[in-house]
C-alpha cells in the first residue's frame, strides 16, 4: 500500500512551480490583453520549468482562423 504522494508527483509539482516563477519573472502575467500567442507562451514556459534558467526561452506564435461568413 502506498502512502502519500509519490516522488515523481512531487518532482512534477516542483517543476511546474519553477516554470510558473520563470513566467512571472519574465512579466508574462502583466497586462489585461491575452491572445493565443501570449497564452501559449505562458503555458510552454511553465511546462519548460527549470529549463528556463539554462537558456530555454519557449515562444508560441499562433493565429486563430477567422469564422466563416
d(CA 30, CA 58): 18
Enter the C-alpha cell of residue 6. 509519490
Top pLDDT among 7 and 34 is at: 7
pTM here is 0.78
Mean of pLDDT values over 20-49: 89
| Cβ atoms of residues 41 and 24 within 8 Å | no
pLDDT at 50: 94
Q: How confident is the model at residue 2 (pLDDT cuts 50, 70, 90)?
A: low
Q: Is 16 exposed, middle or buried (0-12, 13-18, 19+ CB in 10 A)?
A: middle
Chain centroid, CA 25 distance in Å:
12
Amino acid at each position: 500500500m502506498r502512502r502519500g504522494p509519490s516522488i515523481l508527483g512531487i518532482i512534477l509539482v516542483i517543476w511546474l512551480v519553477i516554470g510558473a516563477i520563470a513566467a512571472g519573472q519574465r512579466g508574462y502575467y502583466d497586462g489585461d490583453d491575452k491572445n493565443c500567442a501570449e497564452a501559449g507562451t505562458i503555458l510552454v514556459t511553465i511546462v519548460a520549468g527549470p529549463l528556463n534558467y539554462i537558456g530555454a526561452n519557449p515562444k508560441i506564435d499562433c493565429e486563430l482562423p477567422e469564422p466563416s461568413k
